Structure 1
Amino acid sequence: MFKKFLAIFTLTFSLINVALADQANPQVVMKTNLGDIKLELYPEKAPITVKNFLDYVDNGFYEGTIFHRTIAGFMIQGGGFTQDLERKEVRDPIKNESANGLSNLQGTISMARTNFPDSATSQFFINAVNNYNLDARGRRPGYAVFGKVTDGLDLVVRISRSPTAPKGGHRNVPQQAVIIEKIERLGSESKAN
């Protein structure tokens, strides 16, 4: 009887620890004109990246930006352009944290960057499929994963399949604008703008 009690107690304690660990990670909701995408961020694995992203969130930077690049079977990218495809002014680039052990799996959010590894600013992408080719390999830097979708993955996949066309010097721009109306923190992590 004692062994059964101990096993139940241990299992319950483990589940509470897992739940508390999940609560420790910041949660945000990305409100779009097509629906909401909820995300959990990983500050322990990508502290610089999460802080950078949340600074943009807390300052309302993403309000009115769009997903300007969507590719079926790949990803959706946003966080840097207005609906008129005007580039928003950003802060200095951050250090690439792609060697953090996280993989570009379906539903993960990563920082977009140029060919220069430490060039990420405000733009991010959400993987619509597993994109292992975007991970760091040995000395080759990848794209830094810093969170995952917890609700709304179906919307991410649907957005990735949006009909696209070239526009304003960009390829793969959704023909129907996918607008990020707001990104805000959830729960106890909420901050006023």
Structure 2
Amino acid sequence: MARIKPQTLLLQSKKKKGPTRISVTTILMCNLVVVLIVLSLVSTYRHWSQRSRNQAENESSMTEDIDAFIDPKKFDLPGYAIINTSKGLITVELYKEGSPETVDKFLDFCQKGHFKGMHFHHVIKNYVIQGGDFQRLGAAEDWTLKGKPHNQLAISPKHEAFMIGTSKAKHDNKGFDLFITTAPIPDLNDKLIVFGRVIKGEDVVQEIEEVDTDEHYQPKSPIGIINVTLKHEI
């Protein structure tokens, strides 16, 4: 077997350990891939950034549209009325959302001083006390004569005692009846538009209920409203 000369082995060793050359095409391809990745990242960032701005603008626009439909004055309306009677104070929470039109009319009459000096013309024990237009004296009395049997009707929370309402009869700009229930009335929806409830002064309502009345349920001694004070908070 022929022996390999030392110089030949040295040359072969240098060839094996020499650095491998990278072609220009490979370098260009790698650079192109890097550029494409960077461009893709930039494009993605711009897309999501623009989308976030559009979403924020849309939400702002929707909020403005909703605000345009909501009357800010509604939130400024008083939510409570303190009825100062000859027997004491009755504090009423108003249902501004449940009966907005009736509450608006009630507040308007309060501001005009309509209830100042008004008498409770009807006091029916275990039923209602009524104050309002003298020409409508028969309303509460008619209820007791024409009312449905209570044991045949269901009672909801809106039919409970100490609810305040007004007659469903058409009101003009001169009159506004006030009714405060003193017992649950199952068919209340057929008679009243309920626009609030007594939250303080139930004892005053009961004291008015206990006054002596004649055969027409009219108090023998005058009981009236001194004034009504409106409050946003109590």
What's the CA shift string for 1:70-119, capped at 9, x where partnerless? 010101000324xxx899xxxxxxxxxxxxx97221111011244xxx45
> C-alpha separation between the residues in 1 aligned to 2:209 and 2:233?
31
What's the CA shift string for 1:124-173, capped at 9, x where partnerless? 100001111222xxxxx44111000011111112211211015xxxx211
Aligned to 1:159, the other structure's residue is in SS state: helix
- In the alignment, structure 1 residue 145 sits paired with structure 2 residue 194: yes
1:86–1:124 Cα change, 3 Å: closer
Q: TM-score, normalised by structure 2?
A: 0.53
> C-alpha separation between the residues in 1 aligned to 2:168 and 2:92?
20
Aligned to 1:65, the other structure's residue is in SS state: coil
Aligned to 1:60, the other structure's residue is in SS state: coil
Find 1:131's aligned residue among 185, 197, 209: 185
Identify the residue that residue 205 of structure 2 maps to in structure 1.
156
> C-alpha separation between the residues in 1 aligned to 2:108 and 2:78?
15
Structure 1 outlier segments of 4+, above 3 Å: 118-121
Uncovered stretches (5+) of structure 2, i.e. residues with no partner = 1-75, 138-155
> C-alpha separation between the residues in 2 aligned to 1:29 and 1:59?
15
Percent identical among aligned pairs is 27
Identify the residue that residue 32 of structure 2 maps to in structure 1.
none
Identify the residue that residue 224 of structure 2 maps to in structure 1.
179
Q: What CA RMSD, in Å, does the superposition of the two structures yield over aligned residues?
A: 2.8
The total of aligned residue pairs comes to 139
1:25–1:187 Cα change, 3 Å: closer
Identify the residue that residue 82 of structure 2 maps to in structure 1.
29
> C-alpha separation between the residues in 2 aligned to 1:54 and 1:162?
28
Identify the residue that residue 52 of structure 1 maps to in structure 2.
105
Q: CA deviation at 1:64?
A: 0.6
Uncovered stretches (5+) of structure 1, i.e. residues with no partner = 1-22, 88-100, 136-140
> C-alpha separation between the residues in 2 aligned to 1:34 and 1:165?
19
> C-alpha separation between the residues in 2 aligned to 1:35 and 1:108?
17
Q: Which has the larger share of strand? A: 1
Aligned to 1:173, the other structure's residue is in SS state: coil
